[in-house]
């Protein structure tokens, strides 16, 4: 079974994914795949350097993530360009990882931790998945987490949130919603219940 786990930045997706992994899911992390496809020597990194200039490449030849982030989170056109370069490669590599996990364990629950399953127009790839789970947290909660836990300033936190689809677009495509506004324990209890229902659907123990 292939499950998409989506949610806005700092909603708690990775926390939910980590619990699902503990329970037995195979997790594929889109953010991690997105790092792999821009490693030195990849065609995607070469295109990024071409389009965004040498300022986004660090001295050791790796992507300067802070420099590129400073450009794309405040500029829709630049972000679309970056997405057009990276997303096909992320999709292709992710599908390889799903296939490998399912070949190794046909009954596996493969969870794709992916922030950008839909865009602001509600367009996306939800139909590639057996289930879509959205992790939902209010904007103010997410801003607070980005400021307190990740050291962003408030304006930067809001820019990153605004660079993603609105909450309503994610909720519209979700089969199941995890409310991550409460305590960590409350979130994890919902994940345990979700896991039981996913195992029930799959039919395998």
145 binds, among ligand ATP, ligand COD, none (CB under 5 to 8 A by kind): ligand ATP
Minimal distance in Å, beta carbon 141 to ligand ATP? 8
14 assigned ligand-binding residue:
yes
Minimal distance in Å, beta carbon 198 to ligand COD? 23
Q: Nearest Cα to 98, choosing from 205, 20, 3, 197? A: 3
124 assigned ligand-binding residue:
no
Q: Which is nearer to ligand COD, 87 or 199 (CB)?
A: 87
56 binds, among ligand ATP, ligand COD, none (CB under 5 to 8 A by kind): none
Positions in the binding site for ligand COD (CB under 6 A): 9, 30-31, 34, 65, 68-69, 72, 79, 82-83, 86, 90, 115-116, 160, 163-164
168 assigned ligand-binding residue:
no
42 assigned ligand-binding residue:
no
11 assigned ligand-binding residue:
yes
164 binds, among ligand ATP, ligand COD, none (CB under 5 to 8 A by kind): ligand COD
* Longest CA pairwise span in the chain (Å): 52
Positions in the binding site for ligand ATP (CB under 6 A): 7, 9-15, 31, 115, 145, 149, 180, 182-184, 187
Q: Nearest Cα to 179, choosing from 1, 2, 16? A: 16
Minimal distance in Å, beta carbon 197 to ligand COD? 26
The annotation places the binding site for ATP at 10-15
The annotation places the binding site at 10-15
């Amino acid at each position: 079974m292939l499950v998409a786990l989506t949610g806005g930045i700092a909603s708690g997706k990775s926390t939910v994914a980590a619990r699902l992994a503990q329970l037995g899911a195979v997790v594929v992390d889109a953010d991690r795949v997105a790092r792999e496809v821009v490693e030195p020597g990849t065609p995607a990194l070469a295109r990024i350097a071409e389009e965004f200039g040498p300022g986004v490449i660090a001295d050791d030849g790796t992507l300067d993530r802070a420099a590129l982030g400073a450009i794309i989170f405040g500029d829709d056109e630049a972000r679309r360009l970056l997405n057009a370069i990276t997303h096909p490669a992320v999709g292709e590599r992710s599908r390889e990882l799903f296939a490998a996990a399912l070949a190794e364990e046909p009954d596996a629950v493969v969870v794709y931790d992916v922030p950008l399953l839909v865009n602001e127009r509600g367009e996306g790839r939800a139909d590639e998945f057996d289930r879509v789970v959205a992790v939902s947290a209010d904007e103010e909660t997410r801003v607070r987490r980005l400021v307190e836990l990740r050291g962003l300033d408030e304006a930067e936190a809001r820019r990153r949130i605004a660079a993603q689809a609105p909450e309503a677009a994610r909720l519209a495509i979700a089969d199941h919603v995890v409310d991550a506004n409460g305590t960590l324990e409350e979130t994890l209890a919902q994940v345990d219940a979700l896991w039981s229902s996913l195992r029930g659907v799959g039919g395998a123990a």
